């Protein structure tokens, strides 16, 4: 039997494209993009992994959304639910505990982020919007016991994973 690799170098093609083009492709394809950020344990204080959207205001009229402490695939899935709700006509209030987005009637909160203070966390969005101001909200989600990170009972081991950078 002939070897199917005969005559092939075995190297995979280089699919590297500039980051800005990836963001543009996501927005053209889905109407919005997600930007996952790796943790920075060397920062002072350390910064956990997080993800945020780019393009939601144009698509839905709602602010872009940041989520700390979830793997990118989980953040993408949760934000996809939010986008579907917004496109279906659901209005999401800011700074109010909501039930219905998360399983088991767990509460969450969408809280505004002060972009003058925290805008550096969203460099790709800043580049995409070309310096135009934009709004970002933090989606605060509960620990395993149902406590939000702003509540006294919130699990201490989760505080580093989900810092509260929003105004609530």
pLDDT on residue 3: 46
The mean pLDDT value for 63-80 works out to 96
Which long-range contacts does 101-110 make (Cβ < 8 Å, 24+ apart)? 102/141, 102/142, 106/141, 106/142, 106/146, 107/142, 107/146, 107/148, 108/139, 108/140, 108/141, 108/142, 108/148, 109/139, 109/140, 109/148, 109/150, 109/168, 110/63, 110/65, 110/137, 110/138, 110/139, 110/140
Domain coordinates of the chain in residue numbers?
37-158
Higher pLDDT, 158 or 12: 158
The mean pLDDT value for 110-131 works out to 95
> What pTM value is reported for the model?
0.87
pLDDT on residue 131: 87
| pLDDT over 80 (residue 153) | yes
The mean pLDDT value for 95-116 works out to 95
Q: Which two tokens stand for residue 40?
A: 């920075």
Mean pLDDT of the chain: 90
Backbone angles phi, psi at 67, to 5 degrees: -135, 125
Residues of the chain above pLDDT 90, percent: 77
């Amino acid at each position: 039997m002939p070897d199917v690799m005969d005559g092939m170098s075995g190297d995979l093609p280089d699919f590297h494209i500039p980051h800005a083009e990836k963001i543009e492709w996501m927005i053209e394809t889905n109407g919005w993009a997600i930007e996952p950020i790796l943790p920075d344990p060397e920062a002072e204080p350390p910064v956990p992994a997080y993800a945020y959207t780019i393009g939601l205001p144009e698509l839905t009229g709602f602010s872009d959304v940041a989520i700390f402490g979830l793997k990118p695939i989980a953040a993408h899935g949760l934000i996809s639910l939010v986008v579907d709700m917004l496109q279906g006509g659901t209005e999401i209030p800011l700074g109010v505990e909501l039930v219905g987005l998360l399983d088991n009637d767990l509460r969450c909160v969408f809280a505004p982020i002060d972009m003058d203070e925290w805008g550096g966390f969203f460099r790709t969005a800043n580049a995409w919007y070309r310096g135009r101001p934009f709004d970002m909200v933090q989606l605060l989600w509960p620990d395993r016991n149902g406590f939000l990170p702003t509540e006294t009972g919130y699990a201490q081991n989760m505080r580093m994973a989900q810092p509260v950078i929003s105004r609530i």
